[in-house]
Structure formats: C-alpha cells, structure tokens
Amino acid sequence: MATADAALRLDPTLSTDILTAINEQRESSRGRRRARDPLREADAAAESPLESVSRCVIRWLGFAPPILQKVFRTDGVLDRGDFWWPESSVLGEADGDLKYDGSLGDPLRALRQRRDRDIRLSRHVRTVAHWAWTEATTFAPLRAILLGHGVPLVAGEDTASLLTLRRAVAPR
C-alpha cells in the first residue's frame, strides 16, 4: 500500500486502474492476487508510509475508512488532518517520531506547535488522536487510541493481516 500510494503521489499520470492493469500482466498469479487489494485501495493523499500503514491497520482493525487530508480553516489558518471521521468528530494524526526526536529541529517547539494546532482544531473537531509507527504497526495500541477517542468499530478484525504486518514491519 505504501509503495502504491507513493507511486500515485509522485506520478500524477498514474491511477489505481493503471496500476491494477500493470499488475494483471505479472506472471505470478499469487503475486497478482496479493497486490490487487493494495492497488485498488491506493490513494495519493497518503503523505507518508506511516499514513499508508495506518490506513491499512485502521481497516484491518474494523474501523470505518476515514477521509484523508481534511482541511480546516480557523481565523485564516489552514490545518490539514491526516484522518477524519466526521461521524465521530475525531481527527487522527499519524505523527512520525522524527518530528519529536530532534532530527528535524527543536522537539519542544514541535510539541508547542502541535498543542497550538490541536487548540485551533478543537473549534472544528471533538478530539484529536495522535499515534506513531509503533502504535500503528503493533496495532493494539492504535485500536485502544481510536476506541478511546470514540471512533466505533464497524466491521470484524482481519487478524491474519494484522499479525502478518506486525511480523513484517514492527520494531524489533
């Protein structure tokens, strides 16, 4: 999913239909089957691998698909949220660890900016949920975060996909 999302983001001439057509030309029928779902669900609006992985985990946990990159305007300031569940009035933010570990600048400043942004967003949303790579890829913490913020489950869990993800990409 992350690769397909990135391909769509980087090349505006691509579409999910084109990616699916290319996939159908592959020799391996097993490979074609495994790629169909991520290619069909790919979305250029996902801005990072963390957002792509989070989207998969959200679906596999049984939550409703969120609206991606919802924009809110407050006093002339535009804030874009990664995941929006309008029915629950919950905005979800997949925050990479680099934002707060000092790699991209002063982490205290980044936390202050996040707080100020969350305060602005509180005029539009009931709550803002934040998570990072570990919460998404080990999935139980993301489930707890979303349920704790009031996002309801709407489908059964895809346990096999979740466990496969955890084995493949979770931190060791």
User: Are 23 and 61 spatial neighbours (Cβ–Cβ below 8 Å)?
Assistant: no
Q: What is the pTM of this model?
A: 0.88
Say how far residue 104 (Cα) sits from the centre of its chain. Answer: 21
Q: For residue 81, count CB atoms less than 10 angstroms from its CB and return exposed for 0-12, middle for 13-18, buried for 19 or more.
A: buried
Tens-binned pLDDT, residue by residue, of the chain (172 aa) = 899 999 999 999 999 999 999 999 988 888 888 888 888 889 999 999 999 999 999 999 999 999 999 999 999 999 999 999 999 999 999 998 777 777 878 889 989 999 999 999 999 999 999 999 999 999 999 999 999 999 999 999 999 999 999 888 865 5
Between CA 77 and CA 163 the distance in angstroms is 40
**Of residues 160, 131, 159, the one with CA closest to residue 53:** 131
Q: Which pLDDT does position 3 carry in this prediction? A: 92
